[in-house]
């Protein structure tokens, strides 16, 4: 098929999903345009794609589901039988219904999913889990996913009969709540507002960045990663409890899965 542009539409609070998306994209021979939906926007951008565009969607798994914040951008998302591929990164526990949910959501908005991949990586909350992933071998698999997508785009005349089978269940897993809302250490915070500007949900007050709206916070950890003063933190007690629970159920040797 003669394709126009590669569009990278992703949500990546701590940067791992972005890294995986870029590695796959590097192997697709099309000019690329990025839509980083990690940056909070009151007014959602219009995301409209043509039938000869290719869209690569990338998200982290949150509680076995697509992050709600990402789906909020779907109100203005529209394809025209546009081919798309999906990337989900996860912290070595499980991805459960995430890819299936993402496939159903994008296909209901005019896209045709021609490939998908679930990639185990470092856990953004408990960083000892999946440490140093994606590693060399993971990056090779991710690059190969890009190569396979590129080949599919070049050789197929159309994708009318494509129906990628993706694991997952409906109804989807219930959204759980994560009680890990980062706070500001007032003795370290210089009120530089980097955290407030970085927050993908607008949960941190620009006027007073020491204040966080607990209801808006999605525990993505972007504020913790972006604070140069190391003033943003999660309660040690809660973090230790999460670590205990997660180290039992996460497996550092999880393998990537590709559906194409």
Ligand X SMILES: Cc1cc2nc3c(=O)[nH]c(=O)nc-3n(C[C@H](O)[C@H](O)[C@H](O)COP(=O)(O)O)c2cc1C
Site of interaction with ligand X (CB under 6 A): 12-17, 60-64, 89-94, 121, 123-125, 178, 219-221
Nearer to ligand X, 124 or 148 (CB): 124
Give whichever of 149 and 220 is closer to ligand X, judged by the CB atom.
Answer: 220
Supply the minimum distance, in Å, between the C-beta of residue 167 and ligand X.
Answer: 14
User: Tokens 């109100």 sit at which residue?
Assistant: 75
Q: Which is nearer to ligand X, 153 or 256 (CB)?
A: 256
Q: Is the dihedral of CA 26, 140, 135, 173 positive or negative?
A: positive
Shortest distance, position 161 Cβ to ligand X, whole Å: 32
Nearest to 121 by CA among 93, 161, 143, 146: 93
Q: Which residue intervals of 87-235 are DSSP H helices? A: 98-107, 136-155, 194-198, 222-226
Determine contact, residues 199/222, Cβ cutoff 8 Å: yes
Instruction: State residue 86 phi and psi, 5-degree precision.
Output: -120, 140
CB of 218 to ligand X, least distance (A): 6
Comparison of 194 and 221: residue with beta carbon closer to ligand X = 221
Q: How far is the CB of 34 from ligand X (least distance, A)?
A: 14
Q: Least CB distance from residue 227 to ligand X, whole Å?
A: 15
Which of 153/234 has CB closer to ligand X?
A: 234
67: closest CA among 124, 135, 139, 111? 124
């Amino acid at each position: 098929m003669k394709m126009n542009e590669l569009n990278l539409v992703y949500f990546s609070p701590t940067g791992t999903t972005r890294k995986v998306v870029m590695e796959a994209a590097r192997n697709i021979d099309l000019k690329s345009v990025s839509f980083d939906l990690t940056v909070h926007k009151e007014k959602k951008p219009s995301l409209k794609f043509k039938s000869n565009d290719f869209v690569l969607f990338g998200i982290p798994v949150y509680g076995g589901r697509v992050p709600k914040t990402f789906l909020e951008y779907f109100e203005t998302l529209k394809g025209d039988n546009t081919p798309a591929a999906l990337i989900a990164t996860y912290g070595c526990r499980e991805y459960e219904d995430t890819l299936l949910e993402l496939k159903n959501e994008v296909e209901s908005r005019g896209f045709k999913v021609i490939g998908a991949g679930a990639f185990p990586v470092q856990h953004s909350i408990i960083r000892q889990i999946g440490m140093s992933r994606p590693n060399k071998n993971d990056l090779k698999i991710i690059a190969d996913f890009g190569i396979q997508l590129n080949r599919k785009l070049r050789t197929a005349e159309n994708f009318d009969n494509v129906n990628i089978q993706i694991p997952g269940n409906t109804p989807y897993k219930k959204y759980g709540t994560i009680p890990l809302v980062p706070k500001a250490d007032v003795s370290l915070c210089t009120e530089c507002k980097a955290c407030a500007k970085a927050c993908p949900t607008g949960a941190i007050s620009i006027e007073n960045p020491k204040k966080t709206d607990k209801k808006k916070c999605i525990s993505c950890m972007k504020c913790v990663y972006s604070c140069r003063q190391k003033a943003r933190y999660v309660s040690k007690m809660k973090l230790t409890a999460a670590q205990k629970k997660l180290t039992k159920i996460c497996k550092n040797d999880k393998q990537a899965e590709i559906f194409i």
